[in-house]
């Protein structure tokens, strides 16, 4: 692939947290390239090695790949007797990254300093240095980069020359300028981060950043003192290197970078990544935090299972109608109703089990059981569903979220579910722990909803996450996915649904809808996906309940007129009656436009679900 992402880089970085890749030089060293070798020359002599590193970073979740051209200027190449290869090395470096990134990631043309000291080095000549940077930037632009990453500068005078040269090459290619600070927290002229940010911003760049240096702690401390309105990028080294058995190794772990990424994003960074010593595993952990804190994926990259192919081989999946009794109803186009039933916190599941039985006796087609909704600890939904099957013969729908299990645990979870007869899944990314009762809990997010759907879809074809045949045959999962009709970024939500459909989603269950026009907009915009839709319905029980859901539950939007109706209702029976009436008005208005309803009765009041449904199927 050789295209570019559909969304311009600056538009993406303003609306999403973007994850850059990690080190190139130290990773080449770790993979056997000796330090005396010119790394930029590898773009021509060993493109396979460079390409593999780019691919590893992309697979790990990087949304911006930086070219292997950091030292690709005439001054540095002259030391290796390669002064005539500037264009060749930079052009090849840009094309390699572009080839790997395709339309799925941005390519940043890496431009580093010459190593000369302004006003001190004998070879220093501003006009000649400007020509050096113009030559390099021209080759990178020819190779198709999406932005220039002018990085690791200590001398602001030299940085300004490089920026002006890149701007002469193209006024349309954005410029990200990154400085590196010495141990005292200053650049070469003694300026601290406040003055550095002010001066670099005045140079007319599009984004500003900090990279290299002594590690995440130093980078965070400097970033917190940057006073800039420009998008901020932070890419530290993996700490200071240590010599171990004669090798220079960086000791900051991927887990530590996960903590760093969270802190730096919360401090205002729009871009995170790594410099020397960081690896694809560091990027994988940072990408996880960026997904959690940045409100999901960027518009160009979707994190997938680490190993599965996008187009796995294997046997054909079982026809939808044959995977479960509920799936048969879906395939036949019948109107279906699902009600969410969750065990209360604690040890006694019986009230929720009895409620499930009552709902099915009154015409509900299936109950679905959430996976730690709102990041609250409850009985495992797998155990609860197993009790439904064993004690009541009820076919439930199991929610599976990406928050709490790594890839191996998700695989074991799905195999276990299938083994006991749980074939219906609702696949979601999951609320981060910080919204629940246990904010100190660690989120995992190895896989988001799209990655989980891909895993289940592959298993339906008889393929495991490593791309190998699944021992024992294939699964027969029926996979639902979520959609938020009132999402602030509606087109992003649609794009996510397209990716979910491609990954294996069979039907959609929406968030609660309180406005008919929102649902109609969603149905019109997604009709090309040809997916059955179950509209989400939530009967409110009080004004306080409505305010809580609107203000404190992620993804929930209750219009002001609806909240006003609840405010006017007397608390208690009258308010519950009004909540049921609001839900019935919505559901009955759209029942001919959807294939089913997904009811979420609050506070375990399952009788309200039956009141909403009364007469629906007649």
DSSP string covering 159-186 = HHHHHHHHHHH-SSS-EEEEE---TTS-
Q: Which residues of the chain have pLDDT under 70?
A: 1-2, 35, 239-252, 294-314, 373-377, 431-443, 552-556, 617-618
Show the tokens assigned to 144. 């198709």
Determine whether 498 is exposed, middle or buried from the number of CB atoms within 10 Å of its CB (0-12, 13-18, 19+).
middle
Q: What is the pLDDT of residues 368-425, one digit of tens each?
A: 999 876 556 678 999 999 999 999 999 999 999 888 888 889 999 999 999 999 999 9
Contact 400/427 with Cβ under 8 angstroms?
A: yes
Strand (E) or helix (H) holding 44: helix 42-45
Distance CA 549, CA 435 (A): 13
pLDDT at 535: 97
d(Cα 382, Cα 475) in Å, to the nearest integer? 17
Residue 275: which of 234, 222, 232 has the closest Cα?
A: 234
* Other C-beta atoms lying within 10 Å of the C-beta of residue 322: 11
- Tokens standing for 101? 């990134």
Q: Counting Cβ atoms within 10 Å, is residue 420 exposed (0-12), middle (13-18) or buried (19+)?
A: exposed
Q: Residue 136, Cβ neighbours under 10 Å: how many?
A: 29
Contacts of 162 (CB under 8 A, 6+ apart): 111, 113, 133, 137, 150, 153
- Residue 115 backbone dihedrals phi, psi, to 5 degrees: 90, -5
Token digits of residue 131: 């020509």
CA distance 23 to 568: 60
Query: Which CATH number is 320-539 given?
Result: 3.20.20.220
Q: Where are the extended beta strands (E) located within 237-318?
A: 241-244, 247-250, 271-272
> Which tokens belong to 243?
């010599």
> How many angstroms separate the CA atoms of 317 and 122, rounded?
70
- Give CA–CA dist 95/98, Å, rounded: 5
How far, in whole angstroms, is CA 123 from its chain's centroid?
A: 46
Residues 504, 427: Cα–Cα separation, whole Å: 10
Return the biggest CA–CA distance within the chain.
90
Identify the CA nearest to 392 among candidates 427, 438, 426, 359: 359
The closest alpha carbon to 249, from 527, 454, 23, 63, belongs to 23
β-strands 175-179, 147-153: how paired?
A: parallel
Q: How far apart are CA 303 and CA 60, in angstroms?
A: 7
Question: For the whole prediction, is pTM greater than 0.85?
Answer: no
Tokens at residue 360, please? 């099915």
Task: Count Cα atoms within 13 angstroms, Cβ side, for 120.
Answer: 9
By C-alpha distance, which of 391, 533, 517, 411 is closest to 466?
411
Region(s) of the chain under CATH 3.20.20.330: 9-293
The token pair at 302 is: 């979707």
Determine whether 3 is exposed, middle or buried from the number of CB atoms within 10 Å of its CB (0-12, 13-18, 19+).
exposed
Structure tokens at 486: 């009132």
Task: Write the CATH number of the domain with boundaries 9-293.
Answer: 3.20.20.330
Contact assessment for residue 269 and residue 232, using Cβ atoms and an 8 Å cutoff: yes
What's the rounded Cα separation, in Å, for the pair 167 and 249?
Answer: 37
- CATH 3.20.20.220 domain extents, the chain: 320-539
Is the Cα dihedral 20, 23, 25, 28 positive or negative? Answer: negative
Q: pLDDT, tens digit, for every residue of 66-119?
A: 999 999 999 999 999 999 999 999 999 999 999 999 999 999 999 999 999 998
What does the buried/exposed string (b/e) look like for 196-220 if buried means 16 or more CB atoms within 10 Å of the residue's CB? bbebbbebebbbbbbbbbbbbebbb
Task: State how beta strands 232-236 and 424-428 pair.
Answer: unpaired
How high is the pLDDT of residue 310?
A: 43
Task: Give the DSSP H/E element, type plus range, for residue 508.
Answer: strand 507-512
Structure confidence at residue 429 (pLDDT)? 82
Sequence length of the chain is 618
Query: Which pairing describes strands 247-250 and 241-244: parallel, antiparallel, or unpaired?
Result: antiparallel
């Amino acid at each position: 692939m050789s295209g570019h992402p559909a969304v311009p880089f600056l538009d993406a970085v303003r609306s999403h947290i973007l994850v850059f890749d990690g080190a190139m030089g130290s990773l080449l060293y770790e993979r056997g390239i000796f330090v005396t070798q010119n790394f930029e020359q590898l773009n021509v002599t060993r493109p396979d090695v460079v390409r593999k590193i780019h691919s590893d970073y992309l697979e790990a979740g990087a949304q911006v790949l930086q070219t292997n051209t950091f030292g690709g200027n005439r001054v540095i190449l002259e030391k290796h007797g390669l002064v005539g290869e500037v264009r060749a090395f930079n052009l090849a470096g840009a094309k390699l990254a572009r080839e790997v990134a395709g339309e799925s990631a941005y390519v940043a043309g890496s431009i580093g300093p010459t190593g000369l000291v302004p006003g001190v080095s004998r070879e220093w000549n501003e006009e000649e240095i400007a020509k050096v940077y113009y030559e390099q930037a021209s080759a990178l632009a020819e190779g198709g980069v999406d932005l220039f990453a002018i990085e690791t500068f200590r001398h602001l005078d030299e940085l300004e020359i490089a920026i002006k040269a890149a701007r002469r090459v193209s006024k349309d290619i954005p410029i990200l300028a990154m400085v590196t600070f010495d141990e005292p927290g200053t650049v070469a002229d003694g300026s601290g981060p406040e003055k550095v940010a002010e001066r670099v911003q005045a140079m007319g760049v599009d984004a500003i950043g900090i990279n290299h240096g002594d590690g995440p702690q130093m980078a965070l401390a400097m970033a917190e003192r940057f006073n800039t309105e420009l998008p901020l990028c932070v890419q530290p080294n993996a700490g200071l290197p240590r010599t171990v058995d004669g090798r220079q190794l960086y000791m900051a772990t991927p887990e530590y970078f996960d903590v760093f990424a969270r802190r730096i994003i919360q401090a205002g960074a729009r871009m995170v990544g790594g410099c020397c010593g960081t690896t694809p595993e560091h990027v994988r952990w940072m990408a996880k935090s960026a997904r959690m804190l940045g409100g999901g994926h960027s518009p160009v990259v979707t994190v997938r299972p680490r190993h599965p192919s996008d187009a796995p081989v294997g046997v054909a999946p079982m026809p939808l109608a044959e995977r479960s009794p509920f799936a048969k109803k879906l395939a036949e186009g019948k109107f279906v109703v699902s009600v969410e039933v969750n065990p209360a916190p604690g040890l006694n599941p019986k009230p929720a089990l009895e409620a499930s039985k009552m709902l099915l006796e009154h015409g509900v087609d299936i109950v679905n059981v959430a996976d730690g909704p709102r990041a609250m600890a409850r009985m495992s939904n797998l155990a609860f569903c197993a009790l439904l099957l064993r004690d009541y013969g009820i076919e439930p729908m199991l929610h599976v979220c990406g928050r709490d299990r790594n890839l191996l645990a998700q695989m074991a979870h799905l195999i276990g579910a299938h083994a006991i007869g749980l074939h219906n899944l609702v696949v979601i990314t999951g609320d981060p722990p910080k919204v629940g009762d246990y904010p100190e809990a660690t989120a995992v997010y190895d896989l988001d909803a799209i990655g989980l759907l891909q895993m289940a879809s592959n298993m339906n074809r008889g393929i495991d996450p490593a791309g190998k045949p699944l021992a024992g045959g294939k699964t027969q999962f029926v996979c639902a996915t979520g959609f938020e009709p009132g999402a602030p970024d509606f087109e992003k939500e649609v794009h996510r649904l397209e990716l979910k459909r491609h990954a294996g989603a069979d039907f959609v269950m929406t968030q609660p809808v309180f406005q008919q026009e929102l649902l109609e907009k969603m149905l019109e915009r997604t009709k090309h996906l040809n997916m059955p839709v179950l509209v989400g319905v939530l009967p409110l029980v009080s004004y306080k309940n409505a305010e809580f859901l609107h203000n404190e539950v992620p993804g929930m939007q209750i219009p002001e007129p609806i909240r006003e109706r609840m405010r006017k209702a007397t608390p208690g029976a009258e308010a519950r009656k009004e909540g049921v009436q609001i839900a019935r008005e919505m559901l009955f208005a759209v029942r001919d436009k959807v294939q089913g309803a997904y009811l979420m009765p609050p506070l375990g009041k399952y009788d309200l679900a039956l009141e909403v449904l009364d007469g629906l199927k007649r």
